[in-house]
Amino acid sequence: MKRRLLVKTRNVKNFVDLMNNLIDKSSEVPKMGLVYGDPGLGKTKTAIWWAGINDAVYVRAQNKMTSHGILEKVVEELGEAPSKKSTDLMKQCIAHLRLNPQIIIIDEVDYLIGQSKTIETLRDLHDLTGAPVVLIGMQEAKTKLGKFRHLYDRISEIVEFKPFSKEDMETIVDELSEIKITDEAKDIFFERTNRFRQTIKGISTLENLAKTNGLNKIDVKQVKGLKIEQ
């Protein structure tokens, strides 16, 4: 199995486009982004990868986190010692980001939705620092955020992470598998799995099978015999 940090699936490409669109917007346009979708589709993985190569701030919200708590995390990620008071934390964000503009990515935003105080803080973070703020959440996040008009109106880019398409599965298999898998075998494999972890396990099992049996390609027979945990 080839070790790749990230496979460039459709979701990954859409994420990159969203980020570039936000960066390209003129200063009068609000620069909040929303990325949402079902679990396990790679939202977190993609965000951390993108933040790493683009020097963005990535923070993950936690259960019952207050607006103070999220600001504290952002300040820490900016590399500063967090102040005690919330108003000072916001001042730290403003001072730091005005001098060194960085995109802020907040993952698991579902934990912050529900308290109007945290929603206001996210809005302030965007309005007062001028930094693009990207929120990542679950499928329901979009509907829930829609109820907060003042925040929702600032969201100018939205991407939904979708289950892998056949094309994505091709990309994943081609990028990760070291052994050739015939087109017929791929078709059967894709009918049986479309989740990343299952796919990785499947490829690895098929590779081992090929190795022990001295096969130079994987065909229908091997894929049919593959056990896939649901």
Ligand X SMILES: Nc1ncnc2c1ncn2[C@@H]1O[C@H](COP(=O)(O)OP(=O)(O)OP(=O)(O)O)[C@@H](O)[C@H]1O
Name the residues that contact Mg ion, by CB under 5 A: 43-44
When the beta carbons of 16 and 128 are compared against ligand X, the nearer one is 16
When the beta carbons of 13 and 180 are compared against ligand X, the nearer one is 13
Binding-site size, ligand X (CB under 6 A): 15
> How many other C-beta atoms can be found within 10 angstroms of the C-beta atom of residue 2?
9
Q: Does 42 bind ligand X (CB under 6 A)?
A: yes
Q: Does 41 bind ligand X (CB under 6 A)?
A: yes
Q: Does 97 bind ligand X (CB under 6 A)?
A: no
Q: Does 9 bind ligand X (CB under 6 A)?
A: yes
When the beta carbons of 90 and 113 are compared against ligand X, the nearer one is 113
Shortest Å distance, C-beta 195 to ligand X:
8
d(CA 159, CA 12): 10
Of the candidates 201, 207, 198, the one whose C-alpha atom is nearest the C-alpha of residue 177 is 207
When the beta carbons of 45 and 144 are compared against ligand X, the nearer one is 45
d(CA 29, CA 83): 30
Shortest Å distance, C-beta 197 to Mg ion:
13
State which of residues 43, 73, 96, 126 lies at the interface with ligand X (CB under 6 A).
43
Is the distance from CB of 209 to CB of 222 less than 8 angstroms? yes
State which of residues 25, 39, 88, 180 lies at the interface with ligand X (CB under 6 A).
39
CA dihedral 208, 211, 214, 218 (to 10 degrees): 50
Rule CB under 6 A: which of 180-199 touch ligand X? 196-197
Q: Does 129 bind ligand X (CB under 6 A)?
A: no
By a kind-dependent CB cut-off of 5 to 8 A, residue 205 interacts, out of Mg ion, ligand X, none, with none
CA 72 to chain centre: 22
Is the distance from CB of 197 to CB of 172 less than 8 angstroms? no
Helices marked H in 25-177: 43-54, 67-77, 86-99, 116-129, 141-146, 149-152, 166-176
Q: Does 142 bind ligand X (CB under 6 A)?
A: no
DSSP tally for the chain: helices H, then strands E: 11, 7
Residues binding ligand X (CB under 6 A): 6-7, 9, 12, 39-45, 138, 161, 196-197
